[in-house]
Structure 1
Amino acid sequence: MRTAPTRATNRRYPAFALVTCLLVLPALAAPAEALFAVVPAVLAALAALARYPVGPLTLVRAAAIVAGASLLGDLGFLLTREGLAEVKWALPWLPFELLALLVLLPRVVRGVPPRQAAVLGTLTGFAAVVLPLRFSLRNSHGVLEQSVLGVMSAAFLVLVAGGFGLRQRVQDDRRAEAIERARREQRLQVARDLHDFVAHEVTGILLETQAARLVEYDETRTKELLARLEAAGQRALSSMDDTLRVLREPETRTEPPSTRVRGLADLPVLLRRFEGAGHPRTALDLERGLAGTLPPEAEDAAYRLVVEALTNIRRHAPGAGLVTVTASRTEAGLRIAVSDDAAPPTAPATPPRTAGGTGLPALTERFESLRGSLVAGPGAAGWTVVGVLPLEETAR
């Protein structure tokens, strides 16, 4: 896993050696005052080329050292004896140091924590802006004009480099936020799938097992029960595989991966399984030509509404004799309704759980996120769940 970074670092060593030779060797023929220009230039160039961390050396420490060395070089060069010869000797290193500072500045702005980026970015930019003064103040002719022109030119380059680094930082932050949103959506998607599909099948298995304990043993019925339990277990495992497939997606993608999308066309099979498990009779009123023509988000939300409603009927309405599912296109959009004819239960069908009860609230949030609405409450005989999705808004 560390092969690529190691190779990239190894490729930088020749570059470090070449830059050092190009900047240091000419200094051997220059007067001693040139060291005030050579040392900061070498340090800045090496810092700009390095990949951090380099042992204990981090980007923060490197930027602080380079900026400090540059400002000390300015001070030391200006405090030496006056003379134009030293300026001419030291001037060739100015472009290299300025370029290195301009390369280092966006790296600091982009790559270090905000407070340190503000301090070190300002310090590095200031070192680049005042760098021309190191030479212009030693010139006896046109000091003011050269100083103003040099500072303004360097300031423009610093603003460009700092703006580029800030733009990269904003893009990095947005990318990190997008990845975090995708991961959060993955977790929510996993939770929805576990609740809507896996828990639906497990609830059916649990209720059938509890019902089997209340009747006398019958070989034929037991075989039928075991077959239904096996089929429900297979479907639960299949749904679990779909859910786990989401978790195996690469973590760097910025869009949430999709799981299997079910829709209105799957309702007949769902209702047959529900009725075949010994539950109430079902009636499906599905508008002709509606299934398969709606946006995937609307189809999936409608299917999940029916699953949630059937799960609640299994658990809370054991006396229901008929469950009616209606799906039609209205002026408001897609209308999906599930109702039963059970009287209010006098006692819970199953022992209460310490956790749960999040299905309808989560489903309501899902419908509202699609600009729709969901209402659940007493109906003409039993309980009714009605969801409405504006198809025009969903399709956008």
Structure 2
Amino acid sequence: MALLLLVGFEALATAAQPARPHLVVVAAGLVVCLCAVPSERIPPTGRGWTAAAVSLTASAALIAGQHAREVWGLGEGIALLLLLAAVIRRAPGRTAAVLGPLLGLACVSAPLRDVRPGLFTVVSAVLTVVVAAYSAILRRQDARRLRDLAAVRAAERLELARELHDLVAHHVTGIVVQARAARFTALEGRPAGATLERIEASGSEALGAMRRLVRVLREDGAHPHPVAGLAEVRARTEAFARTGPPVVLSVDTGLAQTLPDDVAAAVYRIVREALTNVRKHAADATAVRIGLRSVPFGAELRIANDGGRPARLGEQARGGGFGLAGLTERAEAMGGRLLAGPAAEGGWELTAVLPLDSGATA
């Protein structure tokens, strides 16, 4: 609306010039300004091609033919700069390499429609170069952040795969040992039934872990390592409370015994990251509440704090902001979900729902 008002004001202010040049300038300005309006149906590249074609055609017609006596072109120029920034930052590489210079040429050419272009041509050229350079810098930063985010997600999936190795190896080893013991001791009756029951439970646990972590790639040569669980969660919260705000940890009765190992490991990783974020981003927090309970979809982990003032840390100490992205990747790979954001009562809250069996969905 602001750009259209600028075009309308220019049309009224320059109405005394010859009809044809005046009509071309106003019509081009209106079309280009409409192209700058964000639209979900028409992508920025499509609107950019239309704006560049209309603006360059109008400029060529007026420069080669009858010049306009006076051209402000403020609304059209701003619209072209907005489209230029959007195309350079968001468009695919080849499209940006072709459409970007065309939009820049349209920005520089628009003032040349005037009989006496003057200083406005230089200003338009400088603004075009500045906007293009700044948009190119933002494009590089966006690409680097996407690469970093992909690396974090890949690392999290590899970590999941290592845990899969540990869990499956543990349960399969137990199955083999119990099966050999049953075969060599010739168990019968109740002892045989109890042994088969333990073998069945171990096999079900191993299969459940594999189904929850399906499609997760494992790095060749990865070495097994201990998988953290709820005991490590308690130790981590106690250590945090000794140097930070008190932590209230509550776990549903019986859930600690029935929680699968891979889910317990995910709970530990989420709690560890959340407590780290409390130190970084909620330095004034007076309490942290951690709750783990059973829900119809599986196990729900909720972590909340009442802080709101970040700690004074350097950029390297503060990190790149990818911790939650990695945890979200872990939760989704297990068939669950993770959400984080401001709490209704103030402070910050993180909620993760993790399925307890392979057939659960979140």
> In structure 2, how many angstroms separate the alpha carbons of the residues matched to 1:19 and 1:182?
47
Identity within the alignment, %: 31
Structure 2 unaligned regions, length at least 5:
217-225, 234-271, 273-362
Whose RCO is larger (CA < 8 A, sep 6+)? 2
How much does 1:235 deviate? 5.8
Contact 1:53/1:59 (8 A) holds in 2: no
Equivalent residue letter for 2:38: A
Q: Residue 115 in 1 paired to residue 82 in 2?
A: no
Give the Å deviation of 1:194.
Answer: 1.4
* Aligned residue number for residue 172 of structure 2: 202
Judged with a 3 Å threshold, the aligned counterparts in structure 2 of structure 1 residues 182 and 202 are, in CA distance, closer, same or farther, namely: same
1:228 & 1:198 partners in 2: Cα distance?
A: 15
User: Would you say the 8 A contact 2:33–2:75 is kept in 1?
Assistant: yes
Query: Post-superposition shift, 1:197?
Result: 1.1
Which residue, out of 108, 114, 135, partners 1:129? 108
Does the alignment pair 1:71 with 2:59? no
**Distance of 1:173 and 1:70 partners within structure 2:** 30
Residues 1-396 of structure 1: pairs in structure 2 closer than 5 A: 15=1, 22=8, 26=12, 29=15, 31-54=19-42, 58-81=43-66, 86-88=68-70, 91-92=71-72, 94-135=73-114, 138-139=115-116, 146=118, 149-219=119-189, 221-226=191-196, 228-229=198-199, 232=202, 236=206, 261=228
Return the alpha-carbon distance in structure 2 between the equivalents of residues 18 and 152 of structure 1.
Answer: 24
Distance in 1 (alpha carbons) for counterparts of 2:86 and 2:56: 19
- Encode CA deviations 1:213-254: one digit per residue, 9 max, x unaligned: 34423335425524643664576478669x65999xxxxxxx
Code of the residue aligned with 1:203 in structure 2: it is T
How far apart are the structure 2 equivalents of 1:158 and 1:17? 18
Change (3 A) 1:107 1:160: same
The answer as to whether partners of 2:90 and 2:139 remain within 8 angstroms in 1 is yes
What is the rounded CA distance, in whole Å, between the counterparts of 1:78 and 1:126 in structure 2?
A: 14
- Partners of 2:28 and 2:3 lie apart in 1 by 16
Distance 1:179 1:27, change over 3 A: same
Change (3 A) 1:73 1:163: same
Runs of 4+ more than 6 Å apart: 263-266
TM-superposed deviation, 1:101: 0.8
Q: Which runs of 5+ in 1 are unaligned?
A: 1-14, 248-258, 267-295, 297-396
From the superposition, tell whether residues 215 and 24 of structure 1 become closer, same or farther in structure 2 (CA, over 3 Å).
farther
Structure 1 residues 260 and 171 mapped into 2: Cα distance closer, same or farther (>3 Å)? farther
Query: 2:89 touches 2:139 (CA, 8 Å); kept in 1?
Result: yes
Deviation at 1:263, TM superposition (A): 11
CA apart distance, 1:28:
11
Alpha-carbon distance in 1 for matches of 2:155, 2:205: 24
Q: In 2, Cα distance between the equivalents of 1:63 and 1:130? A: 16
**Root-mean-square deviation (CA), in Å?**
4.1
**Aligned to 1:261, what secondary structure does the other structure show?**
coil
How many residues matched?
A: 224
Distance 1:158 1:18 in 2: 21
